């Protein structure tokens, strides 16, 4: 069979009459199919889409009460709660400065973990602290939670009690001994690390505060605010 180059072919249905050069329908089909296969082979390509990680970092820190639309394990989303919880104790006159630590209680009502609703802390004896940070990539750096601590608690007349008079233990119902936010004592007038969170993990502890009661303070109501800050790498 004699081969004809495709360029010598008029497009199908456009063959001018009386041109003399005619191809059988079968020949045309074969040549056209050959041309199509060539075209397909030259333009076949894979399709590419770009996966773009949006808002790759998310952080959530809860000290005391927090905000979640519902528990995490049923699709809950974290929110913002501006409540400032307190931890306090009231000393009877006879025990002031006697060196017997006094348990402190909180006005926080956060007993359940937002992770699954499990009753994790005992209120009012314990203060919930927990959260997470999300980040993409294979980073292993942890987010750090710090406490910015004033020098002292003060009353209306200017008397003071060093913040170092307050410490805390850490636990959680059904938790192992090791806590992400371990026990500690406030460092007066400093910024101290109180815990850390590995990337993409949920972390929580329950703190039980005590007033060490090793110094005699004048009668009064002493207050001070500690600011907790979470810093993600």
Partner 1 sequence: MITLSRMASAFFLILALTIIRPPGAHAKTITIDDSGTQALEPSVTMRWKTAAPSRSAGSNLMIGTTTIRVRINVMPWLRHAGRIYLALPAQKPGPIRLSWITQGRFLPGQLVSGNRVLVYAGPITTPFMEDTLTFQFSVSGTLMGRAVPVTYHFEMDEG
Q: How many CB atoms lie within 10 A of CB 105?
A: 17
Q: Give me the residue label for tokens 């009353």.
A: 155
**Which residues have a Cβ under 8 Å from the Cβ of 153 and sit 6 or more positions away?**
160, 161, 162, 163, 165, 222, 223, 224
Which window, 15-23, 148-156, 186-194, 196-204, contacts partner 1 (CB under 8 A)?
Answer: 196-204
Of the candidate residues 24, 48, 82, 93, the single one contacting partner 1 (CB under 8 A)? 48
DSSP at 121: S
36 belongs to the binding site for partner 1 (CB under 8 A): yes
119 belongs to the binding site for partner 1 (CB under 8 A): no
Please report, as residue ranges, which positions from 128 to 167 form the binding site for partner 1 (by CB under 8 A). Answer: 132, 134-139
**Which residues have a Cβ under 8 Å from the Cβ of 172 and sit 6 or more positions away?**
120, 121, 179, 204, 205, 206
Which window, 11-19, 72-80, 150-158, 184-192, contacts partner 1 (CB under 8 A)?
Answer: 72-80
In angstroms and rounded to an integer, the radius of gyration of the C-alpha atoms of the chain is 36
53 belongs to the binding site for partner 1 (CB under 8 A): yes
Of the candidate residues 13, 16, 18, 75, the single one contacting partner 1 (CB under 8 A)? 75
Q: Note the residues at the interface with partner 1 (CB under 8 A).
A: 33, 36-37, 39-41, 43-56, 58, 60, 72, 75-78, 114-115, 132, 134-139, 198-203
């Amino acid at each position: 069979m004699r081969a004809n180059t495709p360029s010598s072919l008029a497009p199908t249905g456009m063959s001018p009459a009386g041109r003399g050069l005619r191809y059988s329908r079968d020949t045309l089909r074969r040549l056209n199919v050959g041309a199509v296969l060539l075209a397909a082979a030259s333009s076949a390509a894979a399709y590419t889409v770009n996966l773009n990680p949006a808002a790759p970092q998310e952080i959530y820190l809860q000290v005391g009460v927090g905000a979640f639309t519902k528990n995490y394990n049923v699709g809950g989303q974290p929110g913002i709660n501006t409540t400032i919880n307190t931890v306090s104790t009231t000393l009877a006159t006879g025990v002031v400065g006697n060196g017997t630590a006094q348990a402190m209680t909180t006005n926080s009502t956060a007993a359940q973990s937002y992770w699954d609703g499990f009753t994790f802390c005992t209120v009012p004896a314990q203060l919930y602290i927990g959260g997470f940070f999300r980040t993409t990539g294979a980073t292993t750096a942890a987010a750090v939670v710090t406490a910015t601590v004033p020098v002292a608690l003060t009353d209306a007349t200017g008397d003071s009690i060093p913040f170092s008079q307050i410490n805390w233990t850490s636990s959680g119902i059904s938790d192992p001994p090791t806590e992400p936010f371990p026990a500690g004592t406030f460092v007066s007038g400093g910024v101290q690390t109180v815990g850390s969170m590995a990337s993409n993990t949920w972390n929580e502890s329950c703190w039980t505060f005590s007033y060490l009661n090793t110094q005699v303070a004048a009668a009064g109501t002493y207050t001070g605010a500690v600011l907790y800050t979470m810093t993600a790498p």
